[in-house]
Amino acid sequence: MTKEFSPSCERNQQPILDQLSLYFKDAKNVLEIGSGTGQHAVYFSERLPHLTWNTSDMLDYHGSILAWMAEAKLSNLVAPFEFHFGKNDWPSLDIDAVFTANTTHIMQREEARLMMQTIAKNLASGGIFCQYGPMNINGEYTSEGNREFDQNLRERGCGGICDVAELEEWAGSMALVEKISMPANNTLLVWKVI
């Protein structure tokens, strides 16, 4: 197991934690979609001990997540399972909150749509979904840097940055309750199942 490190995770984890500590204060069981290196999972579960933090990602990332977990030794952090929209079923866990960071713009459009619909369908009424990353607002990029990043993403075969309105169309029974500007031209969307 090799512990991978993401500089962007290191930079954004405290601003994200500041918001999660508000929106996940009544949650008990969180599913993280796309746990990546495992840094966020360790950082958030250590500082939000009332939560059980369930990690998930494609198998390629499990080694790093497990390496971070082995070092942290946190009792509220759960080993990753394979989860990819359109390929894996929703986990049979009593999830009342979902978190994802920097995944939506990597996914193909169909996968992003499926993510929104699947969470809306499976998260119980009152459940919270916090979605972090670069977003377009009213059809516009929030910065020139995001425009260039989006072009690069599409050249690499990723789906690219979604517009908030597009995500709202796909959200089904989830209502967008907060749209929070975050550092480095990112946005945190807070959805609630109604």
Q: Which two tokens stand for residue 59?
A: 């198998």
pLDDT digits (tens, 9 = 90+) for 68-85: 999 999 999 999 999 999
Q: How many angstroms separate the CA atoms of 189 and 105, rounded?
A: 14
Considering the chain, what percentage of its residues have pLDDT values greater than 90?
99
Beta bridge partner(s), residue 192: 128, 175
Beta bridge partner(s), residue 83: none
Rounded to whole angstroms, what are the CA distances from 96 to 45, 107, 183? Answer: 15, 23, 27
Q: Which two tokens stand for residue 63?
A: 């080694």
Strands 186-193 vs 128-133: parallel, antiparallel or unpaired: antiparallel
Give the pLDDT score at 1: 74
Domains of the chain: 7-193 (3.40.50.150)
